Amino acid sequence: MTAGGGAGAKPPVKSPPSAGFPWHWHHLLPRMLQDWFNRQGINDIHDYCVHVPHDIHNGQTHPQWERDWKQFKEANPNATPQQILNKMRDMMARYGIPLPIQRHPKH
């Protein structure tokens, strides 16, 4: 499966700062669950990344994001790729994670 936006587009090398903080690449599908995503049919989690401000990546959102994914996996051990991507989009909307979804430039 490939990311829903920006296929073939190169991600920006540098983004403007947010409130004086740098930006970070955030995996929308957490690396800690990479093996599970692979088993479910999503072969490359690095295709599902966004460039977010430091305060989103390193603040309260990141641990909550991972907790939500763990709960989803436990409740949906046989989730299809489409169900996983729907969950990802729902979480992006709930947490205010910006588009576009891009491939991580270092992977």
CA distance 3 to 18: 25
The predicted pLDDT at position 65 comes to 86
**Residue 87, H or E segment:** helix 81-95
Give the max Cα distance, the chain: 42
CA distance 11 to 106: 10
Task: Note the pTM of the prediction, 2 decimals.
Answer: 0.72
Q: Counting Cβ atoms within 10 Å, is residue 62 exposed (0-12), middle (13-18) or buried (19+)?
A: middle
The predicted pLDDT at position 13 comes to 39
The predicted pLDDT at position 56 comes to 59
- Ramachandran class of 57: left when φ > 0, alpha when ψ lies in -120 to 50, beta otherwise: alpha
User: What is the overall mean pLDDT for the chain?
Assistant: 77
The predicted pLDDT at position 95 comes to 82
Token representation of residue 76: 């949906």
Token representation of residue 75: 């409740």
Residues of the chain scoring pLDDT < 50: 1-19
